[in-house]
């Protein structure tokens, strides 16, 4: 595991406060250009577009876009970016389009140079596979910050071990995540929100980042199922637990297509996810369903989690058991045909994912 930190320094400029990263900050007029162009002139108004252009040979990251005055819906024909803009070398981007009646409003942002990494990276790298950035706003003599992480890779990754170092006068309004945070490609999470006096330094945020063992597929059933399978490695499925349904029972915050009546329960001191696959049917229909879902799961679960077909000697019902060791823990999932000849139309297929141990 690799501990990744983003060191924040405070640089006071006039009466404001700007955070600067430990990475090199690009200089406007040297690494990039900023321009405002008039698109249209009408009676008592004009339409203007704001542009950023990367003029250097390295990638640039722009974030924390703010306007000196708030735009109403009629003014902003194209709103400022909500999170980040990454500009490849010698590329430009329209960041805002406004319909205005006076002078062009002032827009601010933060920027940094993204240094390329060399060679294969076993762990996700800030600035390459994901981006750490912040949003800020000022009210009176206090600044509010939100620290965010965005996955810019095509691989799924997880973040945990969040800590925020102490800071003078800090007030936290959104606490750090209490469990592992999983980020799918192009997804984003807010790690913490806090405010502090404008003359104080913003605190250091620490975290650990890793690529996940189970990666995205082209099947939405698989994508949702592997989220639960990986949460089994947490011991109690904390990252996918929903509302409490009763003593030792929770709903699941993840909906797997085709799975009904799902939930997370503690049985004999161990947690497990369980759900029913589609609807009840005859034994022949459910056996056919078992074959279909066994194939789907086998296609998206890593090969080191092996498949074994089991047949119950008493009921003659079949089950598909997936089990294997990943990073020192045994992950197990079971597709089981349940039912008896006494109720020939009430056979069903259940999915159980056990706590990884």
The whole-number pLDDT of residue 112 equals: 95
Encoding tokens for residue 342? 């006494």
The whole-number pLDDT of residue 116 equals: 77
Length of the chain: 357
Q: Do 148 and 134 meet the contact criterion of CB atoms below 8 Å apart?
A: yes
For 232-266, the pLDDT digits (tens) are: 988 889 889 999 987 778 999 989 999 998 999 99
For 194-209, the pLDDT digits (tens) are: 999 999 999 999 999 9
pLDDT band at 1 (very low <50, low <70, confident <90, very high): very low
Percent composition of the chain: helix, strand, coil (DSSP 3-state, to 5):
10, 55, 35
Report the alpha-carbon distance of residue 258 to residue 348 in Å, rounded.
Answer: 13
The whole-number pLDDT of residue 115 equals: 82
What would the mean pLDDT of 20-48 be, rounded to a whole number?
Answer: 85
Mean pLDDT over the full length of the chain:
87
The whole-number pLDDT of residue 194 equals: 97
Encoding tokens for residue 51? 């542009």
Residue at token pair 């909906």: 255
Encoding tokens for residue 328? 């020192």
For 222-235, the pLDDT digits (tens) are: 889 888 988 898 88
Which contacts qualify for 332-335: CB closer than 8 Å, 24 or more apart? 332/356, 333/229, 333/297, 333/301, 333/305, 335/277, 335/290, 335/293, 335/294, 335/297
Say yes or no to pLDDT of 54 above 60.
Answer: yes
Report the alpha-carbon distance of residue 110 to residue 62 in Å, rounded.
Answer: 6
Report the alpha-carbon distance of residue 162 to residue 103 in Å, rounded.
Answer: 44
DSSP string of 104-147? PPPEEEEEEEEPPP-S--SS--BTTTEEEEEEEEEETTEEEEEE
Backbone angles phi, psi at 231, to 5 degrees: -65, -20
pLDDT band at 72 (very low <50, low <70, confident <90, very high): low
For 116-160, the pLDDT digits (tens) are: 776 667 899 999 999 999 999 999 999 999 999 999 998 889 999
Say yes or no to pLDDT of 60 above 80.
Answer: yes
Report the alpha-carbon distance of residue 61 to residue 87 in Å, rounded.
Answer: 7
Say yes or no to pLDDT of 8 above 80.
Answer: no
Say yes or no to pLDDT of 17 above 80.
Answer: no
- Residue 214 makes CB contacts below 8 A (sequence gap 6+) with 156, 226, 227, 229, 230, 300, 301, 302
Say yes or no to pLDDT of 286 above 80.
Answer: yes
The residue among 146, 126, 125 whose CA lies nearest residue 189 is 146
Residues β-bridged to residue 351 = 275, 335
**Residues of the chain above pLDDT 70, percent:** 91
C-alpha distances out from residue 85 to 104, 321, 330, Å:
21, 45, 41
Say yes or no to pLDDT of 219 above 90.
Answer: no
Report the alpha-carbon distance of residue 120 to residue 351 in Å, rounded.
Answer: 37
Whole-angstrom distance between the N-terminal and C-terminal Cα of the chain? 19
Residue 66 CB-density burial (10 A; 0-12 exposed, 13-18 middle, 19+ buried): middle
C-alpha distances out from residue 97 to 94, 108, 148, 292, Å:
8, 15, 25, 50
């Amino acid at each position: 595991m690799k501990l990744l930190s983003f060191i924040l320094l405070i640089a006071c400029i006039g009466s404001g406060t700007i955070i600067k990263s430990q990475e090199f900050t690009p200089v406007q007029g040297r690494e990039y250009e900023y321009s405002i162009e008039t698109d249209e002139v009408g009676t008592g108004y004009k339409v203007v577009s704001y542009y950023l252009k990367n003029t250097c040979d390295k990638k640039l990251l722009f974030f924390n876009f703010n306007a000196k005055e708030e735009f109403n819906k009629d003014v902003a024909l194209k709103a400022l970016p909500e999170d980040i803009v990454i500009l490849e070398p010698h590329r430009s981007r329209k960041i805002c389009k406004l319909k205005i009646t006076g002078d062009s409003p002032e827009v601010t942002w933060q920027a940094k140079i993204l240094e390329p990494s060399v060679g294969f990276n076993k762990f996700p790298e800030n600035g390459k596979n994901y981006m750490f950035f912040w949003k800020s706003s000022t009210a009176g003599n206090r600044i509010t910050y939100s620290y965010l992480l965005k996955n810019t890779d095509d691989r799924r990754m997880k973040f945990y071990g969040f800590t925020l170092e102490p800071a003078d006068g800090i007030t936290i309004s959104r606490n750090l995540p209490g469990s592992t945070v999983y980020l799918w490609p192009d997804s984003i999470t807010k790690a913490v929100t806090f405010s502090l006096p404008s003359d104080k330094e913003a605190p250091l945020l620490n975290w650990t980042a890793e690529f996940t063992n189970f990666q995205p597929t082209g099947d939405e059933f698989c994508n949702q199922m592997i989220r639960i399978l990986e949460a089994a490695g947490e011991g109690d499925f904390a990252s996918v637990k929903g509302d409490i349904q009763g003593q030792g029972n929770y709903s699941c915050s993840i909906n797997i297509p085709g799975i009904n009546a799902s939930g997370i329960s503690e049985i004999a001191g161990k947690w497990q996810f369980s759900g029913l696959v589609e609807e009840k049917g005859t034994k022949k229909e459910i056996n056919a369903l078992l074959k279909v879902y066994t194939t789907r799961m086998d296609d998206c679960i890593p090969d080191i989690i092996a498949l074994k077909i089991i047949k119950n000697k008493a009921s003659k019902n079949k089950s598909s058991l997936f089990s294997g060791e990943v990073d020192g823990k045994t992950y197990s999932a079971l597709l089981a045909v349940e039912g008896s000849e006494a109720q020939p139309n009430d056979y069903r297929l259940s999915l159980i994912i056990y706590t990884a141990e």
